[in-house]
Chain A
Amino acid sequence: MGILRMGFTVIAVIFFVTVGDSRAQSPSPEEKGLEIAKEADRRLSGFGDCQEIFTMTLRDDRGRSRVRRMRILTLEREDDGDWFLSIFDEPADVKGTAMLTYSHTHTDDDQWLYLPALKRVKRISSKKKSGSFMGSEFSFEDFSSMEIEKYKYKYLRNEPCGDLDCFVSEWIPTYAYSGYTRMMVWHDLAEYRIQRVDYYDRKNKLLKTLLVKGYQLFDEKYWRAMHWIMENHQTKRSTTLEYSEYRFGVGLTERDFDQAALKRAK
């Protein structure tokens, strides 16, 4: 599973929209919620491959921060989850550490890690979904491969969200051991981009809020957000993700995502 997902998967986890059915008989809230999710997913697909620079800043309740910077390479897969290669550049003591992830929609991800200090590759296997992702306020399931069947959807209402108008839907995880009872998801009417997500813990108390900002259009097709802020209301900690230098269609192939590539990555 991967860091890589950040660029996408959060989005991937997030949205999908109805397009064509606005003319049909007015759908039920559940149907409309599902349609929004599907459309959001469709609009995130079809990019082929891309790479970007990703900076994660972890802040504690006293404002102390830690920064991690990495490069992420992504290869889109049609029948399964995407492949990601993450190479750490900062902090200095983990520079060159690389992680390869084959994400899967139906089974656990495959993951390999290269530690330059030992010059060895190890396969890592973890089934944990609700745990913290790299010590951040994001959890693994926030980044896991999107699969429509993993949630139940319910469209609730339209309402303004900042300068935009948004659909507001409720998503309820249907897979085992989720850390959430539900999520409230806002995405804009015009482009079905995620704008905000409220996460409710297993006691149905507001746990976290994700705000997504700074959308940019790449290749006149792909909307990508540059700025993600996840705030944990219970611990008062937050994590910021900054994306930069997005490049689509750079010609990445499967050879760039094998175990040998892990060692080559610097």
Chain B
Amino acid sequence: MNQNKNDLGTSATGFGRLALWIFDHRWLSLLLFSACFGMGLYFAGKVSIDASFEAWFDEKDRTYDYYLEYKNDFGSDEIAYLLYKAPDMPHGPFNLEVMRKIANLTRVLEDEVPFVKEVTSLANAEFIEAKADSIEVHELLLDFPKTQDELLRIRDIVMNKPIYVGGLIDKDATHGAIILEMSLSGSDPIEKFRLDPEGGDGMDNLYPQVTNSKIDEILARPEYEDIRFYRIGDIPNNSYYNRLIKKEISIFPLVTFAIVGIMTMLLFRTRFLGFVGPLTVVLSTLILTLGFMGLMGYRIATLFMIVPPFLTTIGVAQSVHLLSEFQICRSKGMPIREALRQTLELVGKPCLLAALTTAAGLSSMVVSPLLNFSEFAVFGAAGVMIAFVLTTTLLVFFLSFARDKHAAATPEFQSGGSFLSPLLVRIVNFDLKHRGAIAFIAAAIFMIAFIGVFKLKVDFNFLENFKENVGLRQDVVYVEQVMGGSMNAVYVFDTGTADGIKNSDVLKQLEGLQAWAEKNPLVQKTYSIVDVLKDINQSFHGDDPEYFKLPESRELIAQYLLMYEISGGKELEDYVNSDYSRTALELRVKTTYASRVDEMLRQFDTYMAEHPITTADVKLTGIGLLWVKIADYIADSQIRGYTLAFVMIAILMCLAFRSIKVGMLSMIPNLAPVIITLGFMGWWGMHLDYLRLMLAVIAIGIAVDDTIHIVSRIRSEFFRCGNYAEAIRIGLSHVGQAIVITSAVLICGFLVFLLSELAILASFGILLAITITTALIADLFLMPVLILRFQPFGKEFTPQHSASAKAA
């Protein structure tokens, strides 16, 4: 056995040379960095924010392709839905004054709000009404009632139109609604989103923010002050998300850095360079990561929110290792140039390995069919590697300016945390004394957690994305209470031939499915061409309720539809495509867990298996289905991503320690925290949402860093002393302080997510902090026990110098 085996390998010399080159060519280094930074800034300016639903899906995805096809046929389904009430006015929405204001507001919204295709309210909704021998197609706005009594008569007509109740008016006639349909959707190219074509891609010049801001400005006008509005739908949601992302990605890095900076200053007593250096590294990392995203054509989506605190924490943690080693070298009296060389030779490779394992964990998500995840995998991993490169170059550049005099007396960065030493000694003693108990307890906890993992469900609920005090969530809850569902699922009937849906057999099968759907407790409302045809049939027969049924013959159906078009009817455009080959059955569904929607859709599948639709090819789409698909994809990614992350990191560990045994053993304390956290979630009844999904791959990548340092140090000590217990005692007491403090930095960094308005992000932060704490405990207690038990570095031996001493 080679007892002088160097854990850092031969590339240490390479890192040392890098440090010397930077020291000798400081200004050239600065120039090169400035050039990279400039390019980063340029490309970062090209990145836009997109938190829309479309940001989740790859254009090649089949489910998403159906959705795009549906939108192409039936137009963008993006809307802003404004529920209103006027509690102080008699008759509420049917108060003459309120209706006049709503009529005016409808017109103003249509004229002033950018990217609006159509605005529909009670004031301009079309009514087909039978009058003596005529059919009247009219709008309130065009023939506005002159008296309150006249309006109340209209209220009776409206309340008898099922197509409007639950959509434009609630069943108690106390709340009305205005629906703004958009001409754009999130899948359109960004060039179309600009309000001012020359105004750039700033958030305030882009859809949907400009649309939402204008709606807010109009509703705040004094003439509408006695009407209370609640806003939901794609426009308020996406606009809120986009603004939230912008706000939180601006604030989080600063807060993270402030907290982490204060901690490092307190724990390590850093001074100017020790503070400014990491700060510059972190900010530059963020800019260059954004630049990378711009270069790759990625957009900032919801998942990006975890990136700034994540990279800040990673950047600071890497900087701490470098600064710590640098100060140790300086305290030995080395000149700056030599201290930098030695520092980089010692920490370069562990930092590289730590960065590689973290990046490997993240990049495992590249297998996800969800665009948000696969892109995050790439730019997240790129960000980690950028942080590593900047730590080993830019930070070295800063440190090259450290004062050469009084090196030991006035440290820029001083190792601290000595108060932890007694605790670490006690931990080591405990490990050595109770190795059996530790192994037993760890195995028991692991087994309990492992069972809990099987209780874990992939699920999420849009509402639970937000904290309860967020206005958007409160509005959605209120609107759902009043009007029912706000999410949709759509069955598209494709007959394959132009005018195919005029076939009465197709419509009868559609009617059957619709009637069955209405019995489902999750379905709050259904819409289809069947509703319009029944309405026309009834109106054509003097409003006789007997005729509220589908016409029998294809000719009559075609002639009714022609009459409807001649009369200027437009509602059908939402349910029928331009050549009448396809029609959509839209189901308004309660906002709930994806698993419940999935269960509902499976019931529909059962119905269609028992009552096969023979006249058309039926495809399911709509936001509701996309939600279910996201849950499916998460479940799929979970298995494949976790496996890939584990395999990649395990390979890296085996390569790093040049031993399969050591590599695999090192994986145990990294895997255990992830299993324990997931198991805890399973037992607690928590579900795995799209953020928590990433917990494992992020946590395992970070946790492994500490393991690398511990195993590396214990191994080094073992080769020196030949005794496992001694190696653990010395190794842990040396490296333990840095590991505890780095973990504390990481935990505090991730707890910044608690500040987010997004409940899922806050809970993600807590769970990540718990996982890192568990990983620290596993590193301090379990890893030493495993090393003692499996003796991965070979048999114990008596060192030559001891043997020589004995012989002497």
A interface list, Cβ under 8 A from B: 58, 60-62, 64-66, 88, 91, 93-94, 97, 99, 113, 115-118, 120, 122-128, 131-135, 140, 177, 202-203, 234, 237
Known A-B contacts: A113-B563, A131-B569. Give 12 more (CB < 8 A): A60-B577, A60-B578, A65-B579, A93-B558, A97-B562, A113-B566, A123-B134, A123-B135, A132-B565, A132-B568, A134-B562, A234-B183
The interface residues of chain B lying within 8 Å CB-to-CB of A132 are 565, 568, 570
Which of A93, A116, A120, A135 is the one whose CB lies under 8 Å from B502?
A93
Q: Report the bound CA distance from A99 to B502 in whole Å.
A: 21
**7 A-B pairs, CB-CB below 8 angstroms?**
A60-B577, A66-B499, A93-B555, A128-B568, A133-B568, A202-B110, A202-B111
Assess the A94–B134 pair: CB atoms within 8 A. no
In the A-B complex, list the 3 residue pairs whose CB atoms are closest, starting with the nearest: A131-B568, A123-B134, A93-B558
Which of B131, B558, B567, B579 is the one whose CB lies under 8 Å from A94?
B558
Assess the A97–B559 pair: CB atoms within 8 A. yes
Q: Report the bound CA distance from A94 to B567 in whole Å.
A: 16
B:94-110 near A, CB below 8 Å: 110
Q: Which residue of A lies closest to B560 (CB)?
A: A115
Closest CB in chain A relative to B592 CB, distance in Å: 35
Closest CB in chain B relative to A111 CB, distance in Å: 8
The interface residues of chain B lying within 8 Å CB-to-CB of A177 are 141-142
B interface list, Cβ under 8 A from A: 72, 110-112, 114, 126, 131, 133-139, 141-143, 183, 498-499, 502, 540, 551, 553-560, 562-563, 565-570, 577-580
Which of B131, B502, B566 is the one whose CB lies under 8 Å from A134?
B566
Q: Which residue of A lies closest to B568 (CB)?
A: A131
Assess A126 versus B138: contact at CB under 8 Å? Given A93-B554, A131-B568, A140-B568.
yes
Closest CB in chain B relative to A66 CB, distance in Å: 5
Assess A94 versus B559: contact at CB under 8 Å? Given A125-B136, A126-B138, A127-B142.
yes
Q: Report the bound CA distance from A135 to B560 in whole Å.
A: 14
Assess A124 versus B570: contact at CB under 8 Å? Given A62-B72, A177-B141, A203-B114.
no
The interface residues of chain B lying within 8 Å CB-to-CB of A62 are 72
The interface residues of chain B lying within 8 Å CB-to-CB of A60 are 577-579
The interface residues of chain A lying within 8 Å CB-to-CB of B112 are 203
The interface residues of chain B lying within 8 Å CB-to-CB of A93 are 499, 502, 554-555, 557-559
Q: Report the bound CA distance from A135 to B565 in whole Å.
A: 6
Q: Which residue of B lies closest to A121 (CB)?
A: B133
The interface residues of chain A lying within 8 Å CB-to-CB of B560 are 115
Assess the B579–A125 pair: CB atoms within 8 A. no
Q: For B135, B565, B568, which residue has the most chain A Cβ atoms within 10 angstroms?
A: B568
The interface residues of chain A lying within 8 Å CB-to-CB of B565 are 132, 134-135
Q: Report the bound CA distance from A61 to B68 in whole Å.
A: 14
Which of A113, A117, A125, A237 is the one whose CB lies under 8 Å from B578?
A237
Q: Which residue of A lies closest to B133 (CB)?
A: A123
Q: Report the bound CA distance from A128 to B568 in whole Å.
A: 7
Which of B72, B137, B557, B563 is the one whose CB lies under 8 Å from A125?
B137
Q: Which residue of B lies closest to A91 (CB)?
A: B499
Q: Report the bound CA distance from A123 to B567 in whole Å.
A: 11
Assess the B578–A99 pair: CB atoms within 8 A. no
The interface residues of chain A lying within 8 Å CB-to-CB of B557 are 93
Assess the B143–A88 pair: CB atoms within 8 A. no
The interface residues of chain B lying within 8 Å CB-to-CB of A58 are 578
Q: For A66, A93, A123, which residue has the most chain B Cβ atoms within 10 angstroms?
A: A93
Closest CB in chain A relative to B613 CB, distance in Å: 22
Assess the B540–A203 pair: CB atoms within 8 A. no
Q: Report the bound CA distance from A135 to B556 in whole Å.
A: 18
The interface residues of chain B lying within 8 Å CB-to-CB of A125 are 131, 134-138
Closest CB in chain A relative to B530 CB, distance in Å: 18
Assess the A124–B563 pair: CB atoms within 8 A. yes
Q: Which residue of B lies closest to A58 (CB)?
A: B578
Assess the A203–B111 pair: CB atoms within 8 A. yes
Assess the B142–A117 pair: CB atoms within 8 A. no
The interface residues of chain A lying within 8 Å CB-to-CB of B554 are 93
Assess the A117–B553 pair: CB atoms within 8 A. yes
Q: Which residue of B lies closest to A122 (CB)?
A: B135
Which of A64, A113, A133 is the one whose CB lies under 8 Å from B498?
A64
Assess A122 versus B72: contact at CB under 8 Å? Given A115-B563, A117-B556, A132-B568.
no
The interface residues of chain A lying within 8 Å CB-to-CB of B577 are 60
Assess the B137–A126 pair: CB atoms within 8 A. yes
Assess A127 versus B139: contact at CB under 8 Å? Given A202-B111, A234-B183.
yes
Closest CB in chain A relative to B605 CB, distance in Å: 30
Q: Report the bound CA distance from A134 to B72 in whole Å.
A: 20
Assess the A115–B135 pair: CB atoms within 8 A. no
The interface residues of chain A lying within 8 Å CB-to-CB of B569 are 131
The interface residues of chain A lying within 8 Å CB-to-CB of B540 are 115, 118, 120, 122
Which of A117, A124, A203 is the one whose CB lies under 8 Å from B566?
A124
Closest CB in chain B relative to A227 CB, distance in Å: 21
Assess the B555–A117 pair: CB atoms within 8 A. yes
Closest CB in chain B relative to A240 CB, distance in Å: 14
Q: Report the bound CA distance from A203 to B578 in whole Å.
A: 25
The interface residues of chain A lying within 8 Å CB-to-CB of B578 are 58, 60, 64, 66, 135, 237
Q: Report the bound CA distance from A123 to B563 in whole Å.
A: 11
Q: Which residue of A lies closest to B503 (CB)?
A: A93
Q: Which residue of B lies closest to A65 (CB)?
A: B579
Assess the B134–A124 pair: CB atoms within 8 A. yes
Closest CB in chain B relative to A129 CB, distance in Å: 8
Closest CB in chain B relative to A64 CB, distance in Å: 5
Assess the A66–B568 pair: CB atoms within 8 A. no
Q: Which residue of B lies closest to A95 (CB)?
A: B555
The interface residues of chain A lying within 8 Å CB-to-CB of B579 are 60, 64-66
Q: Which residue of B lies closest to A140 (CB)?
A: B568
The interface residues of chain A lying within 8 Å CB-to-CB of B183 are 234
Q: Report the bound CA distance from A211 to B111 in whole Å.
A: 26
Q: Which residue of B lies closest to A202 (CB)?
A: B111
Q: For A97, A118, A123, A132, which residue has the most chain B Cβ atoms within 10 angstroms?
A: A118
Q: Report the bound CA distance from A73 to B498 in whole Å.
A: 29
Q: Which residue of A lies closest to B183 (CB)?
A: A234
Which of A117, A128, A134 is the one whose CB lies under 8 Å from B139?
A128
Q: Report the bound CA distance from A132 to B577 in whole Å.
A: 15
The interface residues of chain A lying within 8 Å CB-to-CB of B136 are 124-126
The interface residues of chain A lying within 8 Å CB-to-CB of B499 are 66, 91, 93
Q: Report the bound CA distance from A111 to B787 in whole Å.
A: 93
Which of B142, B143, B556 is the one whose CB lies under 8 Å from A118?
B556
Q: Report the bound CA distance from A208 to B203 in whole Å.
A: 29
